[in-house]
Every structure is written in C-alpha cells, then in structure tokens.
Amino acid sequence: MKLLAFIKTVLKSTLKNLLNQLLIFSVFPLLLGLVIGYFSEDQFVPSAEMPVMKIMIKDEDNSAESNNLIGFLEGQEMKRLVEIREEDAQYIVAIPEGYGQGFLNNRDIPIEIEITDEGFESLGNMLAEIIDKYNEEIYLNYMIQKRIEEKALPEEREGLSQRIYSKIAEVYSHGLIENNIITAKKSLTSYEHFSITFFGYMLFLIMMSLINGEYITREKGVYSRIMAAPITDVQYFNYNLISSYIFVVFFILLYVLTYRIFGLSFTGSLVLLIVIVLIQSLLGTVLATLLSLILRKKASNAILNALITIQIVGGVAYVPLKKIGDGVLARIVEKYSPDALIASTYRSYLIYDGFNSIKIQLMIMAVISLVLYAISLIWVKVRRGEAW
C-alpha cells in the first residue's frame, strides 16, 4: 500500500507538470533530432565505390588451392569489396596448412578470420560467408572434375570442364559482389543516428531532473517528515526508486515510440525495443539515485552537464569526424561517448534487429544496474537517517 501511495504521488506530480515535462523530455529532443537529421540526410548515404574492408592474408599452406583463393580475393570484382594490406588491416585471413589437401581428401580445413579492433563483426561475417561460398564452389568443381575424368570420354572432357568453370565464374559475378557491398555497408540513416544521439541527451536530462528533485525534497524537509511516518530508510529508498523508474520508462517509451510511429527510427522488433527500454531505464534511474546520494547538488549537476556537452558534441560531429584521416576520431567517439553502451545497443538493434546482436550489451547494463543498486543500498544503510 505504501508503494502504491508513492507511485500515486509521482503520477500526480507528473500530471501536474506534464506539459513542461513533455516539452523538455520529449518535444525538444525530438525536434532537434528531426531537424538535424533532415539537414544531414545526404551525409548518411553510404558509398559503394571504395573498398570497405582492409584485409591481410596469411598463407600457411602455399598450395595451388590457397594461391587460387588469394587470386580470387585480389581479383577485379573483389577490389570493390576488399583492399589487401600488409599492415593496419581490419581483418586477417589465415589460410591453414592442409587447406589444399582438404579438397582432395574431403576434409573440412576451416579458414580463420581475425577481426581486429578496427574491424566490424558484421563485415567479418560477410567476408567469411563469401570465402565459404568460394570453397563450396571449388569443392563442387573438384567433385565434378573427378566424375568427368571417371565417366566422360576423352574428347568430351574439355568442353564439360569449360562449361563448369563458366558456371563457377557466374557465382562471383558483378551483381553478387555489388549486393554484398550493399548488404555489408548497411548503416544508420540520419534520422536513426540523431534519434540515438538525442536519446542520450534526453536520458541525461531526465537523470538531472530526478537528482534535482531529490535535492529539493531534502531542502524542503520532506524527507524528515516522511521519516516521522512508519517507514524505514530502505523502504523509502526502494519505493522512491520504483516510482522514479516508472517516470523514466514513461518518457523514454514516449520518445522511441514517436519515432517508431512515423517510421523514422526504432523500427525493429517491438518486443526487443521494450526490453532495451526497460533495462536501460533501470540503469539511468539507479545511476541518478546513486549520484544524488553520494554527491552534492553542484557536483552532480556539473558532472551531468559535462556528460551532456560531450555526448551532444560527439554525436553531432560524428559524421565530419569519420572523414578525418581514417575515421579514428569517429571510432573514439563511438567507443568512449558517455552514452556509448546505450547507443551501441540501439545501433545494433537498428542494424541487425536480433537478440543475439544486443544480448551482451543488455547483460552489461543489467549487471551494472545491480552493482549500482547494491552500492546505493549499502550507502543508505550505513548513512541511516542521513541519506536524504
């Protein structure tokens, strides 16, 4: 009953200030994302005219078959997809010893593809798929050639072999390589990118609102009056956390579903989207609660303002930074932005739309949330009567 009373109080407060909160937490971030996304649309059109993967080849077999594979990777059509490097490679293709004999002996000798820190898992998987397809066709060629030698007349063998080689060549035609480039270079639209950028901005604003709300509660002596009632510190902490969590979930769902309704972003699986929202809302709520417990008002606001500034500048400048040098600065922003974990989760959700692509990020957010909750709870118990 006490929990319901807390939730009811939060709902009343939210409804009372709903218009202002909608403008701050929903309308303003949405408008920023839509306007900047509209004017940045041309910058997010992917180019299929330049190599998209820098690969290094390590041939430990040195057989005719491994040389043929290297020749295929260095071929004219593959040049539109890969760039062979001796150093600074994004992907390392290791051809193991016994690769050539594997075709003759009907043994599977897998080629290893190492994805370096500069590479991307999606492109690495695509490269592996192309090599697997090549190996399948080469193996099929060996089997057919063997049958020809066993069954066909000597005068028929040359004509049959030529037809087989022409069929294999068709598998790696211009159209297929072009389709692989388009699939591999699937990236976010301008609206999707800035919906994630301003999502982080909105989340930090909500956290700041929660933290300042806690400080106001203490300054006005509300906490002292609550503690006079039959309620413990831990109960108050948990009830307050739950009611704040509902508040965060409401505004975040409003934000992402608005984009989804208009078909501009967050258009993948609705179930996955809700799961992401629930988990990252918990992370934001618990982090805001912990900051309000251990820091003074000026310190927490200064930290959040700094995070907002870094996050917005990084998100807006991301595209120009990709064009500087080899895109190193853009990758640094992507990895170390204050909202990097949440942003990477939504980015993977939008590109791959599968649970496997986001399960690691979800687990990390859930674990961090539990750790922060445990620290907050310990702080409340240790500072009994002084936490608020």
Q: Which amino acid is at 296?
A: R
Position 37 scores a pLDDT of 85
Cβ contacts of 9-15, under 8 Å, gap ≥ 24 = 9/243, 10/243, 10/244, 10/246, 10/247, 14/247, 14/250
pLDDT of the chain, 388 residues: tens digit per residue: 556 666 666 666 667 777 787 888 888 889 988 998 888 876 665 444 444 788 888 888 888 888 888 888 888 777 777 888 877 888 888 888 888 777 667 677 778 888 887 777 667 777 887 888 777 777 777 776 666 666 655 655 566 556 655 555 554 444 444 444 444 445 678 899 899 989 988 999 999 888 887 777 666 655 555 555 566 778 888 888 888 899 899 999 999 999 999 999 999 899 999 999 999 999 999 999 998 888 887 888 888 888 888 878 777 776 666 666 556 666 777 777 788 899 889 988 988 888 888 999 999 999 999 999 999 999 888 875 554 4
Strands 53-59 and 82-84: parallel
Instruction: Determine the Cα–Cα distance for residues 83 and 300; give it in Å rounded to an integer.
Output: 48
Position 183 scores a pLDDT of 46
Position 125 scores a pLDDT of 75
Position 262 scores a pLDDT of 92
Instruction: Determine the Cα–Cα distance for residues 346 and 326; give it in Å rounded to an integer.
Output: 24
Instruction: Determine the Cα–Cα distance for residues 321 and 329; give it in Å rounded to an integer.
Output: 6
Helix (H, G, I), strand (E, B) or coil at 179: helix
What is the residue-wise DSSP string for 28-65? HHHHHHHHHHHHTGGGG----SS--EEEEEEESS-SHH
Position 324 scores a pLDDT of 65
Beta bridge partners of 54: 83
Instruction: Determine the Cα–Cα distance for residues 195 and 37; give it in Å rounded to an integer.
Output: 8
Position 279 scores a pLDDT of 96
Beta bridge partners of 332: none
Torsion region of 385: left, alpha or beta (phi above 0 gives left; psi -120 to 50 gives alpha): left
Instruction: Determine the Cα–Cα distance for residues 308 and 316; give it in Å rounded to an integer.
Output: 12
Instruction: Determine the Cα–Cα distance for residues 244 and 206; give it in Å rounded to an integer.
Output: 10
- Report the candidate in 23, 26, 21 with the shortest Cα–Cα distance to residue 254: 26
Helix (H, G, I), strand (E, B) or coil at 89: coil
By the 8 A CB rule, do 257 and 267 touch? no
Burial 245-276 (b: 16+ CB within 10 A, else e): bebbbbbbbbbbebbbeeebbbbbeeebbeeb
Tokens 């979800």: give the residue: 362
How many helices and strands in the chain, by DSSP H and E? 17, 4
CB burial class (10 A; 0-12, 13-18, 19+) of residue 30? buried
Instruction: Determine the Cα–Cα distance for residues 85 and 60; give it in Å rounded to an integer.
Output: 17
Structure tokens at 378: 């310990």
What is the residue-wise DSSP string for 332-374? HHHHHSTTHHHHHHHHHHHHH-SHHHHHHHHHHHHHHHHHHHH
Max Cα distance, the chain (Å): 103
